[in-house]
């Protein structure tokens, strides 16, 4: 809350995790000597921002089209513009901070609009008289303006290569029903908490038998690959750490080859707290941890 009777107002914050203020304000707050800004304490969840492709859509069922969309999006520009630099371009659905499991040697789909144009031409989707090749609807995650802004940024990227990317906003219950029950979407934006062991967060998006109508955070794309299923089932029973790492590496390679989902950014949440606040836990799950040991200095 602002202090009354003073201008400019200064925030009185004790503890505000999970990006409780607009990212546009973080740079200003970082210059306040009374406040500390941190991105630590979130590795336990390891959130990734991504797009889900509805593979029942005739255009999106074509791998060339999914690859074309992947090459059309400037991930670093998205992070710099929408998330004010808080993030890192994702090359895999397992973020790089999870060094025990992350596989950097997967098929890459870096920003390359010329490659997008070639792939769409190859897929038999020429530009029409209006310059557009085809239209898809984008149901952005209804968790505030940032996700709408991300959709607008992606729309501008895709418009340049002839894809009409129509944004559709709605409340969260409507979005959940549309995406996980009715499957009445083309592309949605989403976040996944991969967790410190990706078995907790990743396989549910890729396992074919997890395409279950009406179950949120399941496999809503309709993706089904026997090789992905084999790797996931092996992970469920493999106790050896080295073999599990290899299996996760294989699963990431399969996912980035088939692209049922398109990871865009490794998210960086922000915690703002008073410099008088002491005793915050320096742990991977600090943002979710108890404040039992926290105290305010005089």
Q: What is the pLDDT of residues 134-146, one digit of tens each?
A: 999 999 999 989 9
Separation between Cα atoms, residue 95 and residue 38, nearest integer Å: 19
Question: Is a pLDDT exceeding 90 seen at residue 119?
Answer: yes
Pairing of strands 47-53, 35-38: unpaired
Helices (H), the chain: 23-30, 63-72, 75-82, 113-122, 145-159, 172-177, 203-206, 226-235, 241-258
| Over residues 190-215, mean pLDDT | 96
Confidence class of residue 69 from pLDDT cuts 50, 70 and 90? very high
pLDDT above 70 covers a percentage of the chain that reads 96
Separation between Cα atoms, residue 196 and residue 101, nearest integer Å: 9
The pLDDT, as a whole number, for residue 1 is: 39
Which structure tokens are listed for 201?
Answer: 């967060």
Q: What are the residues facing 165 on neighbouring strands?
A: 136
pLDDT tens, position by position, 255-272:
999 999 999 999 999 999
The pLDDT, as a whole number, for residue 290 is: 85
pTM of this structure: 0.91
Confidence class of residue 8 from pLDDT cuts 50, 70 and 90? very low
Q: Is the four-CA dihedral 111, 114, 117, 120 of positive or negative sign?
A: negative
Confidence class of residue 10 from pLDDT cuts 50, 70 and 90? low
| Over residues 87-107, mean pLDDT | 96
The pLDDT, as a whole number, for residue 146 is: 93
Q: How many Cα atoms are found within 13 Å in the side-chain-facing hemisphere of 140?
A: 18
For residue 297, with 0-12 CB atoms within 10 Å meaning exposed, 13-18 middle and 19 or more buried, which class applies? exposed
Confidence class of residue 3 from pLDDT cuts 50, 70 and 90? very low
Yes or no: say if 136 and 163 are a contact pair by the CB < 8 Å rule: yes
Q: Which of 124, 118, 128 is nearest to 67 (CA)?
A: 118
The pLDDT, as a whole number, for residue 5 is: 42
Peptide bond into 130 cis (omega under 30): no
Torsion angle (degrees, nearest 10) of CA 6, 9, 12, 16:
170
Yes or no: say if 160 and 72 are a contact pair by the CB < 8 Å rule: yes
Yes or no: say if 53 and 59 are a contact pair by the CB < 8 Å rule: no
Q: Which of 38, 24, 35, 27 is nearest to 269 (CA)?
A: 38
CB 245: neighbour CB atoms within 10 A? 15
Q: Is the four-CA dihedral 230, 96, 112, 183 of positive or negative sign?
A: positive
């Amino acid at each position: 809350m602002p202090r009354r009777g003073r201008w400019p107002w200064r925030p009185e914050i004790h503890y505000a995790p999970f990006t409780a203020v607009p990212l546009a304000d973080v740079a200003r707050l970082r210059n306040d000597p009374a406040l500390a800004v941190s991105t630590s304490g979130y590795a336990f969840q390891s959130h990734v921002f991504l797009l889900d492709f509805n593979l029942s859509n005739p255009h999106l069922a074509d791998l060339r089209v999914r690859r074309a969309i992947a090459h059309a999006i400037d991930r670093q520009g998205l992070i710099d513009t929408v998330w004010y630099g808080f993030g890192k371009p994702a090359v895999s659905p397992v973020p790089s901070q999870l060094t025990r499991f992350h596989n950097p040697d997967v098929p890459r789909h870096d920003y390359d609009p010329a490659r997008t144009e070639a792939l769409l031409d190859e897929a038999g989707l020429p530009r029409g008289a209006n310059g557009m090749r085809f239209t898809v609807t984008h149901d952005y995650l209804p968790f505030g303006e940032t996700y709408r802004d991300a959709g607008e940024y992606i729309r501008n990227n895709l418009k340049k290569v002839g894809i009409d990317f129509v944004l559709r906003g709605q409340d969260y219950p409507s979005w959940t029903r549309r995406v996980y029950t009715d499957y009445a979407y083309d592309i949605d934006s989403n976040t996944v908490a991969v967790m410190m062991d990706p078995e907790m967060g990743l396989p549910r998006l890729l396992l074919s038998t997890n395409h279950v109508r009406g179950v949120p955070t399941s496999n809503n794309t309709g993706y089904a690959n026997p090789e992905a299923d084999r790797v996931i089932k092996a992970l469920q029973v493999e106790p050896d750490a080295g073999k599990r790492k290899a299996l996760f590496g294989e699963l990431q390679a399969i996912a980035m080859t088939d692209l049922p989902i398109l990871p865009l950014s490794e998210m960086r949440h922000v915690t703002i707290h008073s410099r008088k606040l002491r005793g915050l836990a320096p742990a991977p799950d600090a943002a979710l941890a108890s404040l039992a040991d926290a105290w305010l200095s005089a």
